[in-house]
Amino acid sequence: MLHSNSKQSARGPKHLLVIDDEPAIRLILDHYFSHDYRVVLTANGQEALAWLRAGNLAEAIVLDYEMPLMNGLDFIKQIRADEAHENTPILVLSGTDETSNKILCLKQGADDYLVKPFNPEELEIRIQKILQRVGASA
């Protein structure tokens, strides 16, 4: 399921790509971030890769770790190998607090890792801080 709201900034759309197989999480993130971003919702890594490979760019990616078809770790590996998206900030959301999963994601190129349940405001601040560090407008 690919969905995008139509918010745009004065300089054009700032896309936040959300990849999560849980409809409730997608709904929460769409509602919370749609005031600042054009939120693109996908249910799995394959849908998200198709959207990115169609020439779209995301300012940041919020990614579930455990999903059908392609898990978060495999998505990170593919994105980091793609020159067009290798520097896009990636924040992983996961229902598991296992240190080994966190380490794997961070080693593969995730910029941050949050455990569900999470506070959307904390996620927003983490996104803003990462975007400030990489020089993107937040």
For the chain, 138 residues long, give each residue's pLDDT as a single digit of tens.
Answer: 555 554 444 445 699 999 999 999 999 999 999 999 999 999 999 999 999 999 999 999 999 999 999 999 999 999 999 999 999 999 999 999 999 999 999 999 999 999 999 999 999 999 999 999 988 654
Distance of CA 51 to the CA centre of its chain: 13
**Distance between CA atoms of residues 41 and 81, nearest Å:** 22
Tokens of 119: 């506070």
Numbers of helices and strands, H then E, in the chain: 5, 6
pTM across the whole model: 0.89
**Distance between CA atoms of residues 127 and 110, nearest Å:** 12
Instruction: Write down the domain spans for the chain.
Output: 3-113
pLDDT at 136 (0 to 100): 60
Report which of 36, 58, 9, 42 is spatially closest to residue 124, judged by C-alpha positions. Answer: 36
Instruction: Give me the torsion for CA of 86, 105, 136, 130, rounded to 10°.
Output: -160
Reduce the DSSP state of residue 75 to 3 states and report it.
Answer: helix
Distance of CA 1 to the CA centre of its chain: 15
Which residues are within 8 A (CB) of 6 and not within 5 positions of it... i.e. 6 or more apart? 38
Beta-strand pair 3-4/38-42: antiparallel
Check whether domain 3-113 has CATH 3.40.50.720, yes or no: no
